[in-house]
Amino acid sequence: MATELQTCDFGAIEEMDPSIADGFRVIYDREVPFELRVQESADGPQQVGTLEAIKVKVLMLGDDAAPQSVRVELSSEADLFFHYTHSIDDASFQVMQEEQKLMVEFQDYPNVLIRMLNNCIKEPHSHLVVFVMQHDVNARLDFIQNMEYKFVELMSLQYTRSAEDIVQHQITYRYNAMKSRLALMQARLQEVNNLVKLKNPSLLLQLQSR
């Protein structure tokens, strides 16, 4: 019963996520190894990159078979103020599709993204994600495959640094969610303590002395 209650409580925490306040739903949420680079200008040289675990959240508006819009949010546990967003609908995807000669339709775009992100987790030496940040609000995410004899750019996504109010809402949510999860885990720990104390007091003393 306690585990069921805890699961429900975690679900309630996730419902407070500001990312889904506008009707979007989360279809992917994992940390992915990114190479982060900084570029002074669109045509300028890129600084040497640093490897970091970036939390990638893919969200969809509409049905799986006919999405209205797809949004990809990037955040970091190392930098709470790091938050970038890629938003695209069918019309803007057609422009991207033509520019990059992509052989994928918009309804398949979310699954292709997820597959590429998972490849970067499972095979980081051959599937790379490079995130290039400019000193304005723009950034670019490049999926690159190492073909041994050369690097091939598979797809590029345009990103925008999130507005200050969005960043603040995200930080507030993450803080409150962590605080709520901690309270739930402490309550669960107390339940286990009480149960062990009732059934086997000596075992509880052993656990507490470690």
Grouping H, G, I as helix, E, B as strand and the rest as coil, residue 208 is helix
Residue 206 lies in a domain: no
Residue 6 lies in a domain: no
Task: Convert the pLDDT of each residue in 97-115 to its tens digit.
Answer: 999 999 999 999 999 999 9
Residue 198 lies in a domain: no
pLDDT at 191: 83
Residue 8 lies in a domain: no
Residue 67 lies in a domain: yes
Query: pLDDT averaged over consecutive 10-residue blocks of the chain (210 residues)?
Result: 48 72 90 89 66 94 90 92 94 94 93 95 93 88 90 92 86 79 81 81 73
**23: alpha, beta or left? (left if phi > 0; alpha if psi -120 to 50):** left
pTM of the model: 0.80
CATH number at residue 30: 2.170.210.20
pLDDT at 184: 79
Residue 48 lies in a domain: yes
Count of domains in the chain?
1
pLDDT at 10: 59
Could you tell me the sign of the dihedral formed by the alpha carbons of 19, 23, 24, 27, in that order? positive
pLDDT at 3: 46
The answer to whether residues 48 and 26 touch, using CB atoms and an 8 Å cutoff, is no
Residue 89 lies in a domain: yes
Residue 102 lies in a domain: yes
DSSP H helices, the chain, are 2-14, 90-100, 109-122, 164-199, 201-208
pLDDT at 43: 63
Range of the domain at 88: 19-168
Taking the C-alpha atoms of residue 88 and residue 81, their distance in angstroms, rounded to an integer, is 23
